Structure 1
């Protein structure tokens, strides 16, 4: 054999060995097939990255997985190296049958790709029994409306509903809820939850529970509307979703309230179910639940939307047409069901009797839905039901709540604003940016009425003859001003905190925190609220910088589909004797789905010095 031929055969052997090393460790690879992709190719595959939760960003994929639990990875470098995790997964699934059951979604996908022998068995009786119990035939994305009285649900909450074969919307008894949430100790306060939730201080994990329990929690106990977005996932996509959920049992993620939250985790699941989706790429900074619902719908995943009104909305629809005398009967019957036997009630028509009795029963249930029923409440409920059942079942008026605008059809949650204004006889220009979410003058369609939730809003002002400076930085601004009625008596409250320049001392950026509580009422179509407040402020314009001030806030608001207006007055008296009085008028006009114009006028009087601020702002929601 000549030297040239020897070296030629040696080079051929080297190339053959190299090519063999690039083939997956499978039966096809062992036979020398070149049809299966290499490990390098599979490591960059969108489905593999989705299975490892390497979330999408605009330019590609994150450099590491969102999963923080080492039990999820088979390679010590798996969280940061998708190829290393693939190599370890192929090797260990090839030899360890128990891991094929633990990571069944990975196992099946690698078999489909030819990286594992298609005849390799996966004996997983536990998974088959679990799947048989759930009997998944359809999936819906569920949005529970915002609930300001719970820090974890201020923006609403999303989870998945898994329906059995042959599911019907009117019956949810056999459906399951797939929920992702932070694991919060019972003794953690709201302030501690807010801090740890923002900083990733809680573990989060997936759980599975009967769907009726979630409906009980949201629509009954917390009086939140529930929206069900039925997804058009096919059988293969549902199978991938369920197999991956099995893999995530007992796996912990670090929970972050603003981004890696319930809604973001569900987007990752849907990217596993339907390869090629890029849902997570749309949320590089924060993931507000209603925005993620909008993204799912825009991706073409939604077929139909089902609305489930809260108990409060059902009761409100029933009693809204009643006059004052009829409303009094409802209140009386809820307290004393035996009043249905008095002659004055018996003389009423059968239809009216049934409407009033049903209203009393629903009111009683609403008033005590967060408490364990006492013998007295149980007895009254039974007496009302018995009286209702003695009447014809078709008597009484229909009480179907009006279907509101779907949450994802409202304005976007981020805001940019440009304003021209005048203060202290000088013109200024302002740029504002709000990360989230909605205030009392924004278009109300798709949002809860009389509720405001704003976080991380900054305003930069440039005054003629001066440079630009930060005018205000609002960390949190929450208001809940639901009106009180004969049947509902919510407490109105507000909480604000951040930095702002006082009109009396514009050279100082003063840290502050304020809060208050009171009541709201609707009078002649206008929402009127009055709240006792307390403000703490650090102001270098004061002789003693730290000051506290009790105060009073009175507001009148009018909200229509495209126009909103408010007149508001505040009074504070600081401990150092300084009084601050503010009155303001605001008008907001929605000129397009994501565009608005807002006029603001405000006058502040402090220590006898009065200043006026007037501005016109263009607002863009995105």
Structure 2
């Protein structure tokens, strides 16, 4: 419905001064009588289902006619006293149709169940969430977020309460006879600007009637000056387990920083994060973050402050993707942020996190996209970037190298010159000075932290848009000892050292929720032959390794951890068979990168490390299972290996494991309580394309007390 008072400006010129003075009173009377309708019981028909129907033009015309009639009556009754005129206006039956007409539009267009309205209230009709899917009420459990006492359960009741409050405040604005009247910061115009804007569009209300003075909201908006939004992606970072899957936040650009992205001091960062207790032990912190026992927290900080954390403290490259949103959509998103920024909602590390919040905000202004419902239950930041690209919501991107990446580029250039001009040209001390963050404070940010600098460095091959899909299924055929088998495997994520490396940090290695089932053929000639049945070969909860080569500009450590159930060969007993055990392993060591670093397309230097990697670990492990000697074993030893990047499609990795296992003392002469169990492994992968690969795995167990020493397998891997 359009309440178009702008068209009255011509009529006002033709009236007398006395008539002009009576015009605000006419509007006041109109809205006051409509206000009386607001206290009627909410019609049950307001709560409807279905899609948004076309706006009812006759209803709009009728409402506009009511306003015109009221104003005409006011002008014609200029000889009456003010009190008599007020009484006449309050009894005007046409004016009483205002709120009734709004309610009719809500019913006819099913606005109470319209997708955007329900998203503004945190109803989760189409969200794939283990904890939110199927709920029929809002996720917000805060009475201050609703005007109706039934608002959390009933979006129709909350919509009607908004109409009542809006009619009351329009009355106040009209009574002040001002284009921008003073209002209370607790008014609906100030508390819920996104809801009001949506109602304004849905009901065709004239924007000029809603120009309220909201000091807190106006100051907040003036400070942020939102003109453009971008998604900032900070790459995966294993040295902080809570950042292992990368991180995303929104960059809020003002007109100045939108015109010149290097002027970051004119931008702000909107970050959705966990409001956890830093004093909690890490295990407790992680459990609470994953199960919703912590709340989320919306942080809005100067953008340079957040960017410095990733580039300088964590040494993580970032990618910034401008969102293809209109300025009006940007303002509506920020209005919704204003409404929700202080809500205490449960934080779920895998489902309701920094990445899902970005999709939820975009869904408010692009309801037809249904972005959240397109992702699986686990929401991964790089998946969000890929989805936004697939939906044509990314306008452009910008790469910002971390401080260590810039130092690595300088190191690569120095080594290149050293090889070309002779060793005496660059000393070892000079190379170490380049690697040192204290001596060489190279950065993408200016010294005052207020702007971005242009560095002569090629873009790294870690754009998340280039990575393979994170889920994996494989089928393999193999031979172990005298038995043939078929392997069937599934991995929820993420990436191991032989997977296609594009789109991820170098040498990244993190796997989670992976399982492999094995179907053995029967060897009738062996007494301990495997039956034709499926056995669980492996279930990995988490397995990862962080490589920070000591001869590069990276400053972190090299370490690894795994928690899994796996089949192992028990070497304590004569002709021991394999058994399923629970296993926990921790590794710490050093790694080295070697070879010629990749160059850019124009031959310019990159900040990537050399492509080849060698490493050595000191390891400790504990395993338990009913089938092994005494039900447990603990071990310590060393692992050493190398990974070689043959070309962009082919990689090979070899490793030697030297664990020394202890089961406890045994009185049986043929059972050993402790022993070495060397194992060599070899893996080779060829990438067919971004989503397909072939892998060859081979291993040999050098322990003489196992029923099968060798295992070789060829598998087809499909990423999805």
Per the shorter chain, which TM-score range? 0.7 to 0.9
- Contact 1:490-1:519 at 8 Å conserved across structures: no
Partner SS state of residue 321, structure 1: helix
Partner SS state of residue 38, structure 1: helix
> How far does residue 88 in structure 1 lie from its aligned partner after superposition?
4.0
Residue 12 (structure 2) aligns with: none
- Contact 2:407-2:435 at 8 Å conserved across structures: no
Q: Relative to structure 1, is the Cα distance of residues 21 and 195 closer, same or farther in structure 2, using a 3 angstrom cutoff?
A: closer
Q: 1:482 aligns with which of 548, 569, 580?
A: 548
RMSD across aligned positions (CA): 3.2
Residue 75 (structure 2) aligns with: none
Q: Relative to structure 1, is the Cα distance of residues 52 and 165 closer, same or farther in structure 2, using a 3 angstrom cutoff?
A: same
Partner SS state of residue 544, structure 1: helix
Q: Relative to structure 1, is the Cα distance of residues 151 and 450 closer, same or farther in structure 2, using a 3 angstrom cutoff?
A: same
Partner SS state of residue 113, structure 1: helix
Q: 1:321 aligns with which of 401, 413, 417?
A: 413
- Contact 2:539-2:564 at 8 Å conserved across structures: yes
> How far does residue 467 in structure 1 lie from its aligned partner after superposition?
1.7
Q: 2:627 aligns with which of 541, 549, 559?
A: 541
- Contact 1:319-1:327 at 8 Å conserved across structures: no
Residue 43 (structure 1) aligns with: 112
The answer as to 2:180 corresponding to 1:109 is no
- Contact 2:479-2:712 at 8 Å conserved across structures: yes
Residue 687 (structure 2) aligns with: 590
Residue 309 (structure 1) aligns with: 401
Instruction: Describe how 1:395-414 pairs up with structure 2 within 5 A.
Output: 399-414=456-471
> How far does residue 124 in structure 1 lie from its aligned partner after superposition?
1.8
Residue 246 (structure 2) aligns with: 156
> How far does residue 405 in structure 1 lie from its aligned partner after superposition?
4.3
CA distance in 2, matches of 1:19, 1:476: 53
Partner SS state of residue 596, structure 1: strand
**Bigger Cα displacement from structure 2, 450-459 vs 420-429:** 420-429
The answer as to 2:660 corresponding to 1:573 is yes
Residue 30 (structure 2) aligns with: none
CA distance in 1, matches of 2:215, 2:443: 44
**Bigger Cα displacement from structure 2, 478-487 vs 229-238:** 478-487
Q: Which runs of 5+ in 2 are unaligned?
A: 1-39, 48-58, 64-95, 170-183, 448-453, 522-530, 571-575, 596-610, 664-673
Q: Relative to structure 1, is the Cα distance of residues 502 and 227 closer, same or farther in structure 2, using a 3 angstrom cutoff?
A: same
Q: 1:30 aligns with which of 84, 87, 99?
A: 99
Q: Deviations over 1:180-230 (max 9, x none)?
A: 000122212322222112212211021100000011100111110010001
Between Structure 1 and Structure 2, the one with more strand by share is 1
> How far does residue 293 in structure 1 lie from its aligned partner after superposition?
0.8
> How far does residue 161 in structure 1 lie from its aligned partner after superposition?
0.3
Q: Relative to structure 1, is the Cα distance of residues 291 and 488 closer, same or farther in structure 2, using a 3 angstrom cutoff?
A: closer
Partner SS state of residue 439, structure 2: helix
CA distance in 2, matches of 1:204, 1:457: 29
The answer as to 2:432 corresponding to 1:364 is no
CA distance in 2, matches of 1:138, 1:508: 58
TM-score (norm 1): 0.82
Partner SS state of residue 173, structure 1: helix
- Contact 1:314-1:399 at 8 Å conserved across structures: no
Partner SS state of residue 166, structure 1: helix
- Contact 2:404-2:553 at 8 Å conserved across structures: no
> How far does residue 58 in structure 1 lie from its aligned partner after superposition?
7.6
CA distance in 2, matches of 1:137, 1:247: 19
> How far does residue 275 in structure 1 lie from its aligned partner after superposition?
3.3
CA distance in 2, matches of 1:416, 1:181: 31
Q: Deviations over 1:566-598 (max 9, x none)?
A: 001112112220432221110111101111111
- Contact 1:318-1:399 at 8 Å conserved across structures: no
CA distance in 2, matches of 1:430, 1:218: 41
Residue 372 (structure 1) aligns with: none
Bigger radius of gyration, 1 or 2?
2
**Bigger Cα displacement from structure 2, 421-430 vs 119-128:** 119-128
Q: Relative to structure 1, is the Cα distance of residues 614 and 139 closer, same or farther in structure 2, using a 3 angstrom cutoff?
A: same
Q: Deviations over 1:246-300 (max 9, x none)?
A: 0012112211111111100111011113332211012241001000111111111
Partner SS state of residue 110, structure 2: helix
> How far does residue 490 in structure 1 lie from its aligned partner after superposition?
3.6
Residue 347 (structure 2) aligns with: 255
- Contact 1:159-1:178 at 8 Å conserved across structures: yes
- Contact 1:20-1:29 at 8 Å conserved across structures: no
Q: Deviations over 1:407-427 (max 9, x none)?
A: 122101111111111223212
Q: Which runs of 5+ in 1 are unaligned?
A: 1-16, 335-358, 370-380, 382-396
- Contact 1:23-1:36 at 8 Å conserved across structures: no
Partner SS state of residue 188, structure 1: coil
- Contact 2:512-2:540 at 8 Å conserved across structures: yes
Residue 133 (structure 1) aligns with: 223
The answer as to 2:640 corresponding to 1:563 is no
CA distance in 2, matches of 1:84, 1:585: 65
Instruction: Describe how 1:155-304 pairs up with structure 2 within 5 A.
Output: 155-167=245-257, 168-304=260-396
Partner SS state of residue 428, structure 1: strand
Q: 1:454 aligns with which of 502, 511, 535?
A: 511
Q: Deviations over 1:20-47 (max 9, x none)?
A: 7746999765354797231881122121
Residue 435 (structure 1) aligns with: 492
The answer as to 2:616 corresponding to 1:530 is yes
Q: Relative to structure 1, is the Cα distance of residues 331 and 75 closer, same or farther in structure 2, using a 3 angstrom cutoff?
A: farther
CA distance in 2, matches of 1:236, 1:305: 22
Q: Relative to structure 1, is the Cα distance of residues 457 and 111 closer, same or farther in structure 2, using a 3 angstrom cutoff?
A: same
CA distance in 1, matches of 2:297, 2:456: 39
CA distance in 1, matches of 2:385, 2:224: 24
CA distance in 2, matches of 1:415, 1:66: 33
**Bigger Cα displacement from structure 2, 266-275 vs 536-545:** 536-545
TM-score (norm 2): 0.71
CA distance in 2, matches of 1:190, 1:18: 52
- Contact 1:139-1:231 at 8 Å conserved across structures: yes
Residue 613 (structure 1) aligns with: 711
- Contact 2:318-2:399 at 8 Å conserved across structures: yes
How many corresponding residue pairs? Answer: 556
Q: Relative to structure 1, is the Cα distance of residues 601 and 53 closer, same or farther in structure 2, using a 3 angstrom cutoff?
A: same
> How far does residue 486 in structure 1 lie from its aligned partner after superposition?
6.2
Partner SS state of residue 264, structure 1: helix
Instruction: Describe how 1:466-477 pairs up with structure 2 within 5 A.
Output: 466-477=532-543
Residue 3 (structure 1) aligns with: none
CA distance in 2, matches of 1:252, 1:427: 56
